Structure 1
């Protein structure tokens, strides 16, 4: 039998699903608090912990926006053995270069190392991780030194966070398309949008599907 959620817990769960569908990322505690009118992010955290206890989500320590949806099941919470087994099913993902989340810089062309990750942490299985530099995407929780999980694709929906290439330079921004006009938008008012002109050599290298925040991988 499925665990019953309160009305507020269902609202939060729906918000998480919608945000992952829209951007590829779960919302932050602050975003949940703002959307639902809580006074502080701590109130959102309390509801998230309750959802985790009921088996609707999984909270991951050390991962920015570390909220993972757990598929609904009529059989109740998964057996502890299943949970332990899932943590062992890691895959090796290459850490490629360092992508600027501010002024674009040249991406390193070699793989620095391979990192073992649990694929279910992300909205889609990433093809690689990119190390972020700068603070132009600060307001969506992408900070200097973070590892951005990227799914390779030459196309993206309007509003998605993308890894874009302009000439030989690479940057992380939010994609904005209006007719034939393309802009790469920062998420920090201290930075200016990048307008892509017809003369620019522009391509999409991938979409962001998650984030790992760590101070141990340098």
Structure 2
């Protein structure tokens, strides 16, 4: 994993004055009501927050892919199941933090990679917990297209014989 650290800025972006529903919404609700600071939204401790860009597929099944931006909060103590950024034996890693029977495991979320049981010979420094990710939705188009193709195959089976499609 390549880690590129981004510093927080004081720039506040417009925040629309409505909640977006995961269904069809009236276009008449398009108005600007307030301003939002991304730093304030993603962390209760902006001074302890930094951003990294992801390279690699170790957390692909958690929906984290190459070029996604991670919010990393140094003020949070990792809990089992948290995604963390850490330095393991001199190398930056991204993994799911697991505690089991008094041992720490660093678990990728991709079956191509196995878990790492941290032992007494490892040098582990947890850089922070990832409470939020900023996804590039265009990188995830292939997932939606695959689901659409699966749906179309199911619908096609239910069509009466002789129906074009």
Distance in 2, matches of 1:141 and 1:169, equals: 22
Equivalent runs, 1:13-92 vs 2, <5 Å: 48-49=22-23, 80-81=31-32, 83=33, 85-87=34-36, 90=37
Distance in 1, matches of 2:71 and 2:45, equals: 9
| 1:135 correspondence with 2:84 | no
Distance in 1, matches of 2:65 and 2:88, equals: 21
Q: Which residue of 2 aligns with 1:170?
A: 92
- SS, match of residue 95 in structure 2: strand
Q: Which residue of 2 aligns with 1:212?
A: 134
Contact kept? 1:153, 1:204, Cα under 8 Å: no
Q: Number of paired residues?
A: 113
Tell me: CA distance 1:155–1:198, structure 2 relative to 1, closer, same or farther (3 Å): farther
Q: Which residue of 1 aligns with 2:141?
A: none
| 1:144 correspondence with 2:66 | yes
Tell me: CA distance 1:124–1:137, structure 2 relative to 1, closer, same or farther (3 Å): farther
Distance in 1, matches of 2:23 and 2:82, equals: 28
Divergent runs of 4+, >6 A? none
**Larger gyration radius, structure 1 or structure 2:** 2
| 1:202 correspondence with 2:151 | no
Contact kept? 2:43, 2:73, Cα under 8 Å: no
Distance in 1, matches of 2:74 and 2:92, equals: 14
Q: What is the CA distance between 1:181 and its match in structure 2? A: 1.0
Contact kept? 1:153, 1:205, Cα under 8 Å: no
Contact kept? 2:45, 2:75, Cα under 8 Å: no
Q: What is the CA distance between 1:150 and its match in structure 2? A: 0.7
In structure 2, stretches of 5+ residues that fail to align are 1-20, 138-165
In structure 1, stretches of 5+ residues that fail to align are 1-46, 54-76, 91-116
Contact kept? 2:81, 2:97, Cα under 8 Å: yes
Pairwise CA RMSD of aligned residues?
2.9
Tell me: CA distance 1:154–1:180, structure 2 relative to 1, closer, same or farther (3 Å): farther
